[in-house]
Each structure stands twice: as C-alpha cells, then as structure tokens.
Structure 1
Amino acid sequence: MNCTGNDTRLLGSALENEEGKTVPDGIEVGAGHRTRAMTTALAVTGGISVVLAWLEFVLIRQQLAVGLWVIAAAAVAIVLVRVCSAGKPAALGTGLGGFVVVAQAAWLVTGIHALWVTTLTAATALGYFLLASAWAGRSEASTRRAATAIPADFAAAIALVVSASIVSTAASPAPLVRSLHAVGQSNSFEPDAETGTTMVDGARLTNDVEYGSTLPNSFLDIYIADDDPSVSRPTYITIHGGGWIVGDKTDGAPSSDSGGASWAGPMLDAGYNVVSVNYAFAPSYRFPTQTNQLGQAMQFLETNADTYGLDMSRVVLAGTSAGGHIVGNYATVQTNSDYARALGIEPTMDRSSLKAVVFESAALDVGRAGAPQSPSPSNGFFFDVAARNYLDTTDTALLAQANVIDNVTADFPPSFISDGNTGTFPDQAAELSAELDRVGVANRLNLYSKNEARLDHSFMSVDSQWTDEYSRLEIEFLGSIV
C-alpha cells in the first residue's frame, strides 16, 4: 500500500487534490498523504512491539519464541516507517528498528544480560515511536478526537509507567524488592514478638529466640514435643522459603493463622523436636550470607542445647524452596572441605551430627530458578527476580559455586528429595538424586506424575492427601536414617 499521493491539502474530514477529487481521510506527509489504514498499521505494530517487550520480561521460559516475534515486529516496523515517513523520522524509525533486530538476535545467541536490557529498552522505544507517529497521523478533523484524546493520553501514561518499571527492573530488580520490604516483611534486628513460652497443639513453643546479633532476622522458634524437654529426641531444623526475599519461620507453622498444612505437626508426632529459623533477606544480604547465618543458628543451638532440651547430636536439616538451597549449601560446606575453602566459610557442626537433609521444592541450581518445569509465567517471573536479588546471575563462576547439585560429595548426608510437577523444579530434584546415587549417598526421590495429580511448587504446605503421603514417606525415610 502506498502512503503518498499527489500534492494534497487537509479539508474538513477529507482530503482533496488540486482537481477537487477526495482521497481517503489522513494527514499530509511531506508532499504526500498517509492513509487511515497505514496510520492504523503503525498504531497496531507499535502496540504489539510494546506488549512483546513486556512479555519478554515476564515470560522467562519463552525467551526464544518471544524474541523471534520481537524481531518480526521490528522488521514490519522498518517497512512501515520507510513507506509512511520521510526525512529524519524515517531515518530514526529505520535505525531504531534495525537496532532492535540486531540487539535481539545478539541476546538470543549470547544470553548476555546487558543485551537483554538493551533489547527491552530499544523494543519499547520503537513501539512508542510507532505509536507517536500514528497519533501524529490521525485526522485533525476527526469528530472522535475530543472523545478519545483523554482516554488515549491516560492509557499512554500508564503504559509509559509500566514500561519504565519493566526496563528498570530488568536492569536491577533490587529497587522493586526493597519497595516491597518497605511495606511488608523486611530485614529487622527486632523480633516480631517478645520471647515467651506457650503451648501449641500439645507442644511447648518458645518463640523469637535471638540466635545472633550481627545479621537481621536472627530469630528462631523452638517446639518441644509433648512439652517434655527431658526426653531425648532428634532435632528437625527447618528453613522457610520465599525466594530469599520474603517469608517467615511461622509460615505453615501450627502457631500461624495461614491455614496451610503444618510441617511441625507430623514431625512432632513422629518424635522430633522442631526448630524453625529466620534469616536475612536479599538484596541487602546476598549469597552466601544466609549460609553463614544458618551456621550461627547451629552454633547457638549447640551451645544452648541443654537450656532448651535439644539433642544436637541427631540433626535433620529441612528447607523449602529458597530454604532448600540454604540448607543444601550449608550441608555442602560441612561435608566438602574444598568447597568450604573456596566459599570462605568454616564448617560449624560435626558432620556425624548431621544425619539427613530434606529438600522440599528446593531451588538447587539458582541459575535456572526462572525456568521452572511446566510453564508458569508467574512463578518463573518471581523466581527469576528473587534469584537475581540473591546473587549475580550473570556471574557464571558464582552460579557454579551456588549450585548444590554440582558440589555434593560422597560425604553429603542422606537426603529426602521431593517436589511438585507444575511451576517448580522436579528436574533439579531428579538431578540431585542422580548425582547422590553416583557418589553413593543414600537418598529417596519423591516425585509425582501429572497423571496422578497436579502439584504446585511447595505443595507440601497445602493440606491434601498428597501432603499426608509426603509426610509419611519423609518420616519413613528419616526413621531408617536417624
């Protein structure tokens, strides 16, 4: 379709050439005329370009597919701009479209984070350039202009805010998480409640015990089964999830009002004392701070075992999601001396006392946190943002250090490994089990097919028959070890 015609002038809601014949409603472009259809094409392509940039930011798992669409939209934009514009606008639009194509292709090939941010910025800018060009090309005499101008301006303002937020978060998600901390859970050196002792479901709960003073959120809760600290029982120490940026030691606890399944209840009934530990949040405190902090908690419990009635010679470490990575990394430090030296962390407990590790939907390979199995855009987006706050995911050496799977040895504790099958990490669970098999470490892999049930990330925190079965199998495995 040709955007230009003979010399024209704007008259009413239509255009007339020098012979007085009307041409389709549009706007003058140099010595030519842009038709309404071409204006619409510019607007649609611009809107698609902006939306694709948003999708590339959110759909972490579908980067290739979305990236190819971004390239296609940029190619269409180049054609439209060359046909419908002249002079500097044409040169600017063509150059911007070409830059998007090159940057997007380079990102897909290399995976360099800076290219991703550059692509998002350029694709967004191209989209708004096309939208602005289309807006400038609308009919000045359109009877709908007054009725649509305000809503259009409002929508454009919202879209600009969204785009600016996306680009800034792509560059660094830390401000986003810090803003969430400002209105919700955050790092604090003050306990949530005054330390005290109460009864919860027949167990003695001592809440908000301070185990350290150098890092925030250094508090833990202690549950003594049957309110009887004189009985020697193994100690089950659990670390909550929340992407290293949110969460609390009471999540799913019998003392909380969350309505979720209680992890403490089955363990207390099975004859364990339970300790739930809080830790400092990223991005203010990043890997491996949380590993060090868990070490502080373990030392505190060892020193004060008699005070609280704990047996620290029989310890099970359990972690959910992000907590699974923390306990896995801590256990690796205790059992792999070369790894501990490389990370610069000293072991803080006797290996013989660490009887087993329990992994619940654990993010074992942080570099793949944004790509959970079975597409889940919301989970993938959250996990990716969380991982980038926890450590620099563009640093391949650091990612290798943080990879629990690749650093286990034959001295790693026996492990119970479980996960769901939707929006979570069953692939990582299976890889850890296979690696432990290879080095000769006893373990049990507990996964379910989708033919049995659709189980989400951390399904064991939701009351269901599958949670009951999970608890039974976990306790059965630990009974053979502890």
Structure 2
Amino acid sequence: MSKIVEDPRSRTSTTALVATGGITVALAWLECLLIRQQLAVGLWVTVVAVVATCLVSFDARKHVAVGASLGAVTVVAQVAWLVTDFHSLWVVTAIAATALGFFLLGSAWAGSSGNPRRATAAVPAGLAAVIAMVVSALMITTAASPAPLVRSLQALGHSNSFEPAAPTAMSDSNGASRTSDIEYGSSLPNSFLDIYIADNDPSVSRPTYVMVHGGGWIAGDKADGDSESVTNSPYFASGAGPVLDAGYNLVSVNYAFAPQYRFPTQTIQLGEALQFLNTNADRYGLDMSRVVLAGSSAGGQIVGSYANVQTNPDYAQALGIEATMNRSALKALVFDSAVLDVGRAGSPQSPSPSNGFLYDIGARSYVDTTDAAWLARANVTENATSDFPPSFIADGNTGTFPDQAAELSAKLDRMGVANRLNLYSKNEAALPHAFMTTGSQWTDEYNRTKIEFLRGSVR
C-alpha cells in the first residue's frame, strides 16, 4: 500500500497563503476601525498587499489574474487614500483588501486538496469563514456609511421621537423642584427639556445654567443621571448638584439625533429651546438675562456653534441661522470634554481605538466628513471671534480631546477673551473623556474651579 507524501513546497505555500490571507483580512478590519490612524495601518496594508500579490503570482493555482488584480487595486487605492484622504478610496481599499485576504485563504484551501486532514477541518474552517465574512460585511458597510449601525443602536435605546418620554410632570430631584418633559418646539423631534429650580423656590432670582448632553450626536438624554429618571449615572450628583448648590437654576435640553438630522439642525434647535425659555421665563421662574450654556462632549460642539452664531455675524450668515439671543444675556460657556473640531473626533489624545471608532461614527453621522466646507463650519475654535463669551474649558487626558481644549483656550487668549483651561497632567491622574461626570477628587476640584470662574463672569 503506497503512502501519501505531502509536497513540502505545497505545505510551505499553503502556510504562507493562510498567514498572509489572515493578516490581510485583519488589516482590512483595522482599516475600518482606525480610520484616523490611516498612515500607520495604511502602510502595513500596502506592504502586505504587495507580499500577497507576489504569493498569488507564484502559488495560487487558479485565477492568478483575479488575485493579482485585487492586490493591485488594494495597493493603488490605499496609496491614493493616504495621499488624498478621499472617503470613497477608503471604502474601495477596505473592500479590495478584504477580498484579497479571502482569495488567499481560498487558494490555500484549494491547494490543500491532497491533505488527509482537509475533511476533518472542513466544518470549523467553513464556520470560521462564514463568521469572518459576516464581520467583513459589517465592517465594510459601516465604512461606507455609519447610518445602518447607528440606526440599529438607536432602535435599542435613544431615538428620534415627537413624543415625550412621559407626560410633563413636577417632582423633587436632588433637593430641587423638577418639571420634566416640557415641549419647547414642534418642528423637530426630541424637542423637550427639564427645568430644575434650586431649593424649590422660583421666587428667588438666579442665573440660568442650560446643559446640552453628549452622546456623539447620536444618543444621550437630558435626564441622564437624574435620580428620578430611569437611567442613573452620577452626572447630576457630580455636575448638576454643585451648580444648583451654587445658586443657579438649571435647564437640561434634548435635541434631534444624527444621521437623520445633521449639523446645523441641533444648533437651530438649541436656539428654539432658548427662545422658548425666554418667552416663558416668568412662568417657570427663570432669569434669562443671565445665562450660562454648558455642553458635554458632542453637546459642547452644539453649544459652541450656537455661541458663534450669536457672536459672529459672518458665521451666522454662512449657516443661514439668525441670532436668537441677546448677547449681553449670554454670560459664559462651559465646555466639558467638548468635540470642538468635528473633523478630528476620531483622533482622541492618548489614542483609544474604541473611543476613536465611536467618536468617528458619531462625527460621520453628524457632518459629512468628506465636505471640507461643512467641517470648517462645524469647527468651534476656527469660527470664534473676540466677541465669544467667557469660557470654562475642561477635559481629561486619556482617550479624549485636551489638545482641542488647549487650542480654543489659546485662541481666546490671543483675542483677549476671558477663559479658564482646566486640564490635568497624567502625572497627577489618568482622567478619561467626560471625567467630570464621575465622582472623584478631580471632579470635586473641577466643580470648585468652574463655579469660581463663573462667579467672576455671571453677575
């Protein structure tokens, strides 16, 4: 009985095809996940694609032209993407690299037909291939457009609605009276806000602190962290509580989500909320002649854009939005881990791949990141003028945007606009994105510093 002897060269070729194919698919996935680190990933994709093309030319037993073409398209599209930054080339690269990787793996499988272990490996290999193809399809779909992923996530939680979460009602919350789910507009979804009156005493004249929540422009809620709401993060205890204790009434605002509603819709919507509050100030016991606007993360960009509309006529004209607030009433701004440059949302400092991916998904939903003109209009720092309100600018130092915070502070310094930059060194503590929403000594210090700054600006 003759013995089957496997050709050593065939074994080596198969191993090379499997390894290179697997690496190519993995890099294609990374290409989709790490869009803002395209240089580091892109160079590896290019190198591996060249190696893959060489392997195909020598070792693929059939359809060599197909493999060589996929390799060539991957290299050309990747280099063009690195040079031009055109989004469509990124998608082409992801598709071509993924197809090239699967072609190599398929070639390796076809070339192992004489291997007696092939039948045993058929089921697990087939399962792995199906899983890899499903993941690849999801990655490429998200690379082309984040909308399907975002809408799937919104279907599970926060979404656009013209109906309030509950009927308007009054309750006690953290020692303040809370009037929840007040409708401030009817033309856009999520046009609801909550009002908190400190010490449950609307007869006392207090400045009004208006909060705009974060969530990457695709999620979040005005009641996040309220002990009376379904969700209960520490935000009110660590952020809103000190504001109420410092003698402010507080308003928390909802707004429409991207991608269904994109920039500058949310800027317009914030204007509608403030107009409503101004019209109904007496009804709710608010002093709208002394207003502080505060925004966390994506909410910071919305607040900054609104402030630019009020203080920069050229910017307001470019967006086609009229000012809705008396500039003298806008006493100060608070930026908490704000995304001030939407185009760099996917590039947080002390790089965090997961944060960068999520921020970029939100940014691409909110603004067409291939449109340089709209990206420039969404940039808070770029459009700020010497009439910009006094600003308290704070951020963490890990997976967030301290560089953008420092840039806004530096520009305001140059223009003579009062501001306070509240950043901490990593030598003191590693502070994440929106660290001020979690209870810690750094949160306490942040609150003390913020209230002290506002005391000098809000009179």
What TM-score do you get using the length of structure 2 for normalisation? 0.97
> 1:262-307 CA distances to partner (integer Å, 9 max, x unpaired)?
2210000000000000000000000000000001000100011001
**Equivalent in 281, 285, 294 of residue 318 of structure 1:** 294
Structure 1 residue 184 corresponds to structure 2 residue 151: no
1:295 aligns with 2:271: yes
Q: Is the Cα contact below 8 Å between 1:364 and 1:404 reproduced in 2?
A: yes
Q: 1:456 aligns with which of 427, 432, 454?
A: 432
Task: State the Cα distance separating 1:145 from its structure 2 match.
Answer: 2.7
Identical counterparts, % of pairs: 69
- The match for 2:13 is 38
Q: What is the CA deviation profile of residues 55-102 of structure 1, one whole-angstrom value per residue up to 9, with x for unaligned ones?
A: 11112343111111111111111111111135x611221121122111
Q: Which residue of 39, 54, 74 maps to 1:100?
A: 74
Give CA-to-partner distance per residue, 1:7-59, whole Å, 9 cap, x none: xxxx97725xxxxxxx627xxxxxxxx61111111011001000000011112
Matched to 2:88, the amino acid is A
**Are residue 347 (structure 1) and residue 320 (structure 2) matched?**
no
In 2, the alpha carbon distance for the partners of 1:397 and 1:14 equals 66
User: Which residue pairs with 2:109 in the alignment?
Assistant: 135
1:12–1:156: structure 2 CA closer, same or farther, 3 Å change rule? farther
Q: Secondary structure at the match of 2:420?
A: strand
Structure 2 alignment gaps of length 5 or more: none
Deviations 1:345-364 (A, max 9, x none): 01111000000000000000
- Which residue does the alignment assign to 2:402? 426
- Structure 1 SS opposite 2:188: coil
2:148 counterpart (156, 175, 178)? 175
Question: Following superposition of structure 1 onto structure 2, how do residues 73-472 of structure 1 map, counting pairs within 5 Å?
Answer: 73-85=48-60, 89-142=63-116, 144-256=117-229, 257-262=231-236, 263-472=239-448
Structure-2 separation of matches of 1:357 and 1:261: 18
Partners of 1:107 and 1:322 lie apart in 2 by: 27
Deviation of 1:439 (Å):
1.2
Is 428-437 or 258-267 further displaced after alignment? Answer: 258-267
Q: Deviations over 1:449-479 (max 9, x none)?
A: 1000000000001111100100100000000
- CA shift, 1:103, in A, is 1.1
Q: Deviations over 1:87-121 (max 9, x none)?
A: x6112211211221111111111111111111011
What one-letter code is carried by the residue in structure 2 that aligns with 1:104? Answer: Q
Q: CA RMSD in A?
A: 1.4
Aligned to 1:6: none
Q: Is residue 222–residue 274 contact of structure 1 (8 Å, CA) maintained in 2?
A: yes
Q: 1:57, 1:46 → 2: CA distance?
A: 17
TM-score by length of 1: 0.92
C-alpha distance in structure 1 between counterparts of 2:209 and 2:434, whole Å: 18
Q: Is this contact kept in 2: 1:234–1:272, CA < 8 A?
A: yes
CA shift at 1:254, angstroms? 4.3
Which amino acid in structure 1 is aligned with residue 7 of structure 2?
A: P
Any conservation in 1 of the 2:399–2:432 contact (CA below 8 Å)? Answer: yes
Q: Give the stretch that moved more between structures: 335-344 or 144-153.
A: 144-153
Report the alpha carbon displacement of residue 140 of structure 1 after superposing the two structures with TM. 3.9
Shift in Å, 1:146: 3.1
Deviation, 1:141, is 4.8
What whole-Å deviation, never above 9, does each CA across 1:132-153 have from its counterpart, x for those lacking one?
Answer: 10111113451x3333211111
| Match 1:58 to one of 30, 33, 40 | 33
Distance 1:366 1:207 in 2: 31
Verify the 8 A CA contact 2:194 2:253 in the aligned structure 1.
yes
User: Which protein shows a greater Rg?
Assistant: 1
Q: Contact 2:162–2:188 at 8 Å: present in 1 too?
A: yes
Tell me the secondary structure at the aligned position of residue 422 of structure 1: coil
Does the aligned pair in 2 maintain the 1:252–1:461 contact within 8 Å?
no
1:31 paired residue number: none
Give the equivalent residue in structure 2 for 1:68: 43
3-state DSSP of counterpart to 2:63: helix
Between the aligned partners of 2:201 and 2:52, the Cα distance in structure 1 is 73
| 1:20 matched residue in structure 2 | none
The alignment partner of 1:35 has SS state of helix
The one-letter code of the counterpart of 1:193 is A
Gaps of 5+ in 1: 1-10, 16-22, 26-33
